Structure 1
Amino acid sequence: MKSRGGNKVGCELEEKERFWSELDEVMESIPTGERVVIGADFNGHVGEGNTGDEEVMGKFGIKERNLEGQMVVDFAKRMDIAVVNTYFQKREEHRVTCKSGGRSTQVDYILCRRGNLKEISDCKVVVGESVARQHRMVVCRMTLMVCKKKRSELEIEKKTKWWKLKKEECCEEFRQKLRQALGGQVVLPDDWETTAEVIRKTGRKVLGVSSGRRKEDKETWWWNEEVQDSIQRKRLAKKKWDMDRTEENRQESMFLLCRVKREVSKAKQKAYDELYTRLDTREGQKDLYRLARQRDRDGEDVQQVRIIKDKDGRMLTSEESVQRRWKEYFEELMNEKMRGKNE
């Protein structure tokens, strides 16, 4: 999966050609058998219709093709890939990816290898959802047959849910199963290793085990139905305004946006008040510690280590090597000089 930002409008031709040359090198470094999906703002119009370019695009673009759009098409031909957006017949509102003032354009595209085009069942713009200023979200539905490979070095530790012993019914069931496993003996045998293994095995059977995967924490402990309903109404109002930009729809959207902020603030305050009243109890203290741990994790730059590849395409699995690769990537990204004349 590649996410790119194309040249800005007004860049010199030499700068544009350099961008496409670098993107060619990236594509050529990827083995032919690997799937590739590119999502990018190319700042170009590939245009409506596909006469002469049927092998790389469909008929359902927008407006006339310009120079930047022709560069997108030429790149698709060189790399044997397809401009996915243009293959699905949609209303213009679901093809427009960028709105600015009175202009509606299609400059954000999803590209994939032509051989994988059959795996894509839909591609459209989600009206009302913005991922950046003026740019709308482009969604592609792709169905893959994936065989998950087991990697011994990435085995995740699953833990027995010993905390369930705080419940009386779980504790009693555990005692009964353990006595049965130990042959009904009241006094445990001298062989502690054997006894400990029986205890662990019984615990896993009775109490169950965790998945071992850490959940991606979101601070939603204060969430309630009123907040959920308000957010849903706000989204519908925003979508309505995007479809029909009248002053009445704008006022309704802004009103509901302010209302959501008030509802969220009230819900948080109510949850905090309830937490404070429970601080003297054991459960309240546990909730407070859980919240503190979550806040600490939220402050980390990298909360979960993902598997990535280095510059040469080798898989990195250790936390140290992954973080070092991210550092290299951002140093290159943030120190790149833009040579466009508008800079």
Structure 2
Amino acid sequence: MINSTWRRSLLDVKVKRGADVGSDHQLITAFIQLKLRATGKKVPLRKCFDIDKLEDIKVKREFVIKLQNRYQVLKNSVRDENETLDEKWNEISDIYTKCSEECIGYKQKTKKKDWITPETWNQINIRRQAKKKVNDTKSSRLKDKYQQDYSDIHRNVKTLVRADKRRFMDNLADQAEEAANKREQGNLYKITKIICGRGKSSPNIPVIDKQGNLLTSENEQEKRWAEHFSEILNRPSPKELPTIPEPNIELEISIEPPTISEIFINDVSNGVYISINSDKGETTNRNTEDNTTSRK
């Protein structure tokens, strides 16, 4: 199970029976003692609210109602005339923070898949509770019953996940088709990479100069990009102009302005009827769809 190099570092092994992985196997946690170099203190990351839950109509309605109630209480309260702008902002910020904590909560540390709907996550939580019942029960009869319930819920979760995945891929295909019709090659390329499963490209691509040195500052990188494109796009004029030979056969193509009869034929093909009165020098333009007539 472990390489001989780390065999002396293995301290203990525990089996995680409560892990909900949808398999007959159990996860194993191994405790290994390693010699690591000293690192600085980790700065605590800022907690972010799970604003994706606001897409649910019920959660959004609950959030709006609580926010309105707190604003009404703040409006009816007695205000201090000497209150500063920072104090007013802190009150408003506390209102939004408390409402967000009660309604939507914070994002979990584990990265969730964006294409899974809240209904599917709810079924996943139900499956986790069913797995806990299977592990906690001591009776064999109840264990069999809970195991059957867990299997049914697990089968339902797999069906919902497949449906969400199919819906997500269909949406990406529609976006790619729309981008292709609009000739948006950049968006089409990004969507194609997501569909192929190659992930997102990292925006922090290193930029180096002509000597191969890494450029770290933003100004140096912008200057290098400007230099790169100026050399590629602003090419010098060729020393010798290309010689284009005269054609051997002259094509009979008229370069004169179009005549009235040619305009008449073009407009008739577009659903417009034109009658030409050569004596009076007038043309009557009639649209066959809306039966409108104009005289020029």
Q: Same fold (TM over 0.5)?
A: no
TM-score normalised over the length of structure 1: 0.28
Q: Which has the larger radius of gyration?
A: 2
TM-score, scaled to structure 2: 0.31
